[in-house]
Amino acid sequence: LQVVPRTGYRHDTYSDGETGIAIPVLMASVSRERIIDLLVDLLDPLGAEVDVVLETSHHTRGEGHEDHYRESIELPILKSVLYEFEEMLIDDGCTGVAVLNPQIPMEVQFDEHKIFTLYGQDLDLFERVFDSHGVTCSEDIKFITEAEHVHSSTDTFAELFDQLRFRLGIDN
């Protein structure tokens, strides 16, 4: 394998091409048994009410992905729905979710590669969550996006994505 999956996180930087602004980033991966619990705990620093973006490449024929946006959902409700759709979120290679609070410049992404990407000027709160889950910093960690890979899904996961979108109150 070009990249051997392992648990850990590293620091990175996202540079906005238009503004030139550099935003600190944490990238992480964990084993499947720990994904959903880590995801919901990483949402806590975002506050009691958040916006959610569901990402899908189910019907894009390999040409990027579609975003479905929902503003203002209470965090406990979102967490409950994420737990309800745990299997699909973990196993579907065409589904991702991003959660943000526009009032706080921070974002949590859990992409279709099952990688966590956390954006914000102050990432200490996220690092504390990683510590509480036993996820350690490893600046040399590599992710599947840095090697050749394929995305897989099923018709069942595509239908579950639509159910998830409906449960979150997101229109087409």
pLDDT in tens, 152-172: 678 898 899 999 999 999 976
Distance (Å, whole) CA 103 – CA 121 = 13
Distance (Å, whole) CA 133 – CA 119 = 19
Q: With a threshold of 0.75, does the pTM exceed it?
A: yes
Average pLDDT across the chain, whole number: 91
pLDDT in tens, 11-70: 999 998 888 889 999 999 999 999 999 999 999 999 999 999 999 976 656 566 799 999
